[in-house]
């Protein structure tokens, strides 16, 4: 077997893996079987993918589609190796996604792949960056957003969202309060959705519409804001502030803080009122 698979993150009904294949032109194509719905974004290399839905040549940016129980074959007649971000969803998980995509009725993919979708390009770039930086918390949202976009594109359904109702706005407000009260601990999208009695996909779409960002982006921004306040107001070690804010390691905190705040945590501390830290 010329393929290695590393699980990056998982939750109820979903999993994402980094799949690397080193097969070359002279290697015999191998056959496997999808155990669940598969939505795999090709990030490097090319390969031929054949399943009962058809045959396609996949290149970076393309989305491989697989249905549970379907056998498939991959080959590398035109070049060696490839790499994919492979999302796997249980039938029950995908059924909930399909139910929440306007106009979508079919559970299952009719074709073997989708071409590169401009609407998905920024999201796939974020997911690939998360793979490189080890940002496991973000993958639950990435998987759900990719699943919804792929279902919409594969079925040709409309993605125009209706205006959020007062009930939706109330649910988002409740989720915001939950995040504010628990920002220092891991908060899954499923937990937030359960707290509002909605499906994760509907909750994610509604939250983005009402708040202008995803729940994870709001959680991250809350953590960083609180850390910035403590950096300016106390002499605690930067590592202590980072861990208390909910970050698992200092390097991730430093990178995120610089990206969001435009400066390193140490530089932020040096600007404290009264000149302390200079």
CA dihedral 127, 131, 132, 138 (to 10 degrees): 70
Please answer whether residues 46 and 96 qualify as being in contact, where contact means their C-beta atoms are separated by less than 8 angstroms.
no
Residues 48 and 184 in one domain: no
Helices (DSSP H) in the chain: which residue ranges? Answer: 91-100, 121-133, 139-155, 166-182, 189-195, 200-211, 215-233, 238-245, 250-261, 265-269
Structure tokens at 63: 């989305």
DSSP secondary structure, 219-253, as one string: HHHHHHHHHHHHHHH----HHHHHHHHT-S-HHHH
Any domain includes 99: yes
Residues 6+ apart with CB under 8 A from 225: none
- Mean pLDDT (whole number) for 124-135: 87
Domain final position from 212, 230, 248: 212
Tally of domains within the chain: 3
Query: Closest Cα to residue 41, out of 146, 154, 157?
Result: 146
Q: Tell whether 56 and 144 lie within a shared domain.
A: yes
With pLDDT > 90 as the criterion, what percentage of the chain qualifies?
42
Residue 250 lies in a domain: yes
Residue 160 covered by a domain: no
Q: Which of 124, 121, 147 is nearest to 205 (CA)?
A: 147
DSSP classification of residue 118: G
Structure tokens, 129: 């960056």
Residue count of the chain, please give it. 278
Q: Give the residue, 73 or 196, on which the prediction is more confident.
A: 73
- Contacts by 52-55 with C-beta closer than 8 Å and gap 24+? 53/109, 53/110, 53/111, 53/112, 54/111, 54/112, 55/112
CATH number for position 238:
1.10.10.60
Mean pLDDT of 152-178: 76
Across 253-274, average pLDDT: 84
pLDDT over 80 (residue 168): yes
What pLDDT band is residue 140 in, cutting at 50, 70 and 90? Answer: very high
Measure Cα distances from 167 to 94, 197, 227 in Å: 25, 11, 32
Kindly indicate the confidence band of residue 161, based on its pLDDT and cuts at 50, 70 and 90. Answer: low
Q: Which domain holds residue 102?
A: 3-123+140-155
Is 222 found in the same domain as 208?
no
Which one of 29-33, 109-113, 166-170 scores highest in mean pLDDT?
109-113
- Looking up residue 57, the CATH number of its domain turns out to be 2.60.120.10
Q: What are phi and psi of 187, to 5 degrees?
A: -130, 115
């Amino acid at each position: 077997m010329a393929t290695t698979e590393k699980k990056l993150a998982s939750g109820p009904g979903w999993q994402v893996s980094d799949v690397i294949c080193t097969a070359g032109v002279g290697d015999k194509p191998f056959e496997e079987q999808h155990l669940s719905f598969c939505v795999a974004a090709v990030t490097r290399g090319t390969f031929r993918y054949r399943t009962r839905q058809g045959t396609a040549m996949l290149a970076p940016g393309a989305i491989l589609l697989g249905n549970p129980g379907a056998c498939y074959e991959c080959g590398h007649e035109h070049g060696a190796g490839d790499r994919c971000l492979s999302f796997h969803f249980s039938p029950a998980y995908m059924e909930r996604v399909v139910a929440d995509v306007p106009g979508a009725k079919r559970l299952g993919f009719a074709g073997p792949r989708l071409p590169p979708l401009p609407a998905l390009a920024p999201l796939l770039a974020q997911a690939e960056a998360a793979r490189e930086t080890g940002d496991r918390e973000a993958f639950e949202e990435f998987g759900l957003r990719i699943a919804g976009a792929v279902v919409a594109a594969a079925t040709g359904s409309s993605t125009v969202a209706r205006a959020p109702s007062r009930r939706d706005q109330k649910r988002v407000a409740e989720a915001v309060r939950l995040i504010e009260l628990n920002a220092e601990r891991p908060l899954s999208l499923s937990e937030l959705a359960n707290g509002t009695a909605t499906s994760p996909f509907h909750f994610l779409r509604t939250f983005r519409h009402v708040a202008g960002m995803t729940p994870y982006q709001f959680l991250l921004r809350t953590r960083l804001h609180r850390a910035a306040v403590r950096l300016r107001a106390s002499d605690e070690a930067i590592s202590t502030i980072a861990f208390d804010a909910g970050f698992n390691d200092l390097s991730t905190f430093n990178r995120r803080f610089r990206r969001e705040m435009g400066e390193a945590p140490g530089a932020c501390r040096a600007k404290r009122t009264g000149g302390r830290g200079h």
